[in-house]
Amino acid sequence: MKKKLFGILSIVTLTIFAFSGCKNRGTTAENRNETGKKILKCSESFALETLNPHQDYQGWYTSIYGLTEALFIMNDQSSVEPMLAESAKADGNIWTIKLKEAASFSNGNTVTSDMVIRNLQNAGKTNSRFAYLKDCSYQILDDKTFTIETSEVYPTLLNDLASPELAIVDLDNSKDMGSQLVATGPFVVSSFEPGGTIKVKRNSSYWNGEVKLDGAEFYYMPEPDTSLMAMQNGEIDCYTGVTADAAEIFKNDPDTYKLVSIPATRLQFYILNKNRLDDSVRKAINLTIDTKAIETYLNGTVTSTDGPFDSSAPYGKVTKEPVDIEAAKALLEKDGYSLNADGYYEKDGQVLTINIAYYAARSLDTLATLMQEQLKTIGIKGTLTCEVDPDETYIATGDFDIALYCMIADKAGDPYYFISCTLAKGAPYNCGGFSNEKTQKLIDELKVTSNNDRRAELANEIVQTAIDEDAFGYVALFNKTTVMRNNVVNVFENCPFDFYFLNANTDMN
């Protein structure tokens, strides 16, 4: 009797589970259009708990979901273009900004100067990275024109105003910005599960033209393998952050998938410690590190680079010397190093040993190993030190010969942020002893220069000096890789910034 009971119980359990699985079969992206609606299904590796775009980096995601827009937008060439704003003009430290007449929220309310100013002040209060905005002086000239007076000349204000965290929201009607968001984007929230799926639908009163999709759904998939399989199974239509292995699979099926990979803004670089390494050793290291070989090894996930910015940007025009092993060896030998029986260079009985400090993220562990191998080929012994938190350890203490790091170099279409963080005197990532009076003067000039051509010229000169002095080595820019079904178009796949995706022109043909 008891045996029978066990048997029946087992069968019932398995049957319930099996049928529960079978009954909803068929809700895939491929047959979804049978309903006649164009709903784009995507995966995201991050899920929001609230929809307040001003808080932390949440504006990146509300922008990705097509819910929010800022006064300006970054284009594919990393230049600032007007979005909700029509024009902007600087006079010293006073910026006059005119808003577009048509700009309005999804509830039909017009975007006014007052609302924009309140948004900027709110973002300044909510987000420490934009705290300066709450201290600026604002003046309303008319319903569509206002001024911002910064405490000092601020030539990159428009780049900041293009940040998705400075999205413009109808503060009066977004009672709980965490869940009821009234903004200006081409889509509005249809359903939102904190930490999970978000569904958006067309903003039928979108101010900037016709919205082509009926809606979109973003599923939270932290594991890239899950996104790959959901794509293969036809349950999602596109996603960004495609891994190298997944890209190979998609490349092999061009009839189904479109794969777009472009160098983005996240940079892998290393800092050479001038306080510890001689000029000849640093130069030899830079002549040895083969970034093209690293790009090949990392299999399409990165693009090797000469400087910190994409070479297509006007401020990305720098060069570095090509890999030359013989020249590197000659430099070391000229400096008194000689090869020992183990194949390593030594001087005064000391083997030339370089400590490479890194942390295990963003492929820096692989990069460290590859650099160690490449240095070995010319006779430099590399030792690896892995730290959990680089900022609290080797970046803070300067205890390294080579320090690996990864950060977004181009935050919003301007070089000043990266230069001020890594090359300026006392900058947090200028921890390898780079110091050059002339360069510092150029950085000071860059800080207050408004003319874009001059800014690019200054940035190129500053970065070139850092390269020529062998203070840094810029390895690669991470690629932004997007995969789409062949019928999907316009998901900002050619824009290097991570915070754009869904827009009014996104379509499923």
Partner 1 sequence: MKHYITKRLLLLIPIILGLTFLTFALLYITPGDPAKKKLSAQGIAVTNEVLEKTRQEMGLNQPFMKQYLDWFGKFLKGDLGNSFKDGTSVADKLSKGMRYTFILSFSAFFLAITISIPLGIYTAVKQNRFVDYFIRFLCFIGNAVPNFLLAVLFIYFFCIYIKVFPVVAKGNMQGLFLPALSLALPLVSRFIRQIRAAVLEQLNAEYITGARARGNRETYILFRDVLHNALISIISIFGFSIGTLLGGSVVIESIFMWPGVGKLMMDSINARDYPVIQGFVIISAMIYVVVNLLIDLCYQLIDPRGEE
Is there a contact between 150 and 95 (Cβ–Cβ < 8 Å)?
yes
Place of tokens 């899950």: 226
- Tell me the two tokens of residue 403: 């320090």
Q: Measured from the CB of residue 205, what is the shortest distance to partner 1 in angstroms?
A: 30
Q: Measured from the CB of residue 234, what is the shortest distance to partner 1 in angstroms?
A: 9
DSSP 8-state class, residue 196: S
Q: Measured from the CB of residue 220, what is the shortest distance to partner 1 in angstroms?
A: 6
- Tell me the two tokens of residue 142: 């008319």
Specify which residues 384 forms β-bridges with: 356
Measured between alpha carbons, how far is 136 from 140 in angstroms, rounded to an integer?
13
Place of tokens 């097509």: 66
Nearer Cβ to partner 1, position 254 or 428?
428
Q: Measured from the CB of residue 434, what is the shortest distance to partner 1 in angstroms?
A: 16
Q: Measured from the CB of residue 56, what is the shortest distance to partner 1 in angstroms?
A: 6
Nearer Cβ to partner 1, position 172 or 223?
223
- Give the chain's radius of gyration (CA, Å): 26
Is there a contact between 198 and 101 (Cβ–Cβ < 8 Å)?
no
Q: Measured from the CB of residue 191, what is the shortest distance to partner 1 in angstroms?
A: 12
Measured between alpha carbons, how far is 323 from 111 in angstroms, rounded to an integer?
54
Nearer Cβ to partner 1, position 24 or 275?
24
Is there a contact between 219 and 42 (Cβ–Cβ < 8 Å)?
yes
Nearer Cβ to partner 1, position 150 or 374?
150
SS (H, E, C) 446-481: HHHCCCHHHHHHHHHHHHHHHHHCCCEEEEEEEEEE
* Residues engaged in binding partner 1 (CB under 8 A): 2-3, 6-7, 9-10, 13, 16-18, 20-25, 27-28, 41, 48-50, 55-58, 60, 128-129, 131, 178, 194-196, 219-223, 225-226, 229-230, 232-233, 235-236, 266, 362, 387-389, 391-393, 406-408, 411, 417, 421, 428-429, 498
Measured between alpha carbons, how far is 102 from 109 in angstroms, rounded to an integer?
10
Nearer Cβ to partner 1, position 105 or 434?
434
- The CA–CA distances, whole Å, from 112 to 71, 168, 447, 473 equal 12, 10, 30, 47
Give the residue from 51, 145, 52, 59 showing the smallest Cα distance to 97: 145
| Helix, strand, coil percentages for the chain (3-state, nearest 5) | 30, 25, 45
Nearer Cβ to partner 1, position 82 or 413?
413
Nearer Cβ to partner 1, position 3 or 334?
3
Q: Measured from the CB of residue 460, what is the shortest distance to partner 1 in angstroms?
A: 21
Q: Measured from the CB of residue 41, what is the shortest distance to partner 1 in angstroms?
A: 8
Longest Cα–Cα distance of the chain, Å, equals: 92
Nearer Cβ to partner 1, position 61 or 95?
61
Q: Measured from the CB of residue 484, what is the shortest distance to partner 1 in angstroms?
A: 17
Nearer Cβ to partner 1, position 105 or 218?
218
Measured between alpha carbons, how far is 130 from 95 in angstroms, rounded to an integer?
17
- Tell me the two tokens of residue 23: 């009954």
Q: Measured from the CB of residue 54, what is the shortest distance to partner 1 in angstroms?
A: 11
Measured between alpha carbons, how far is 431 from 347 in angstroms, rounded to an integer?
26
Nearer Cβ to partner 1, position 164 or 382?
164
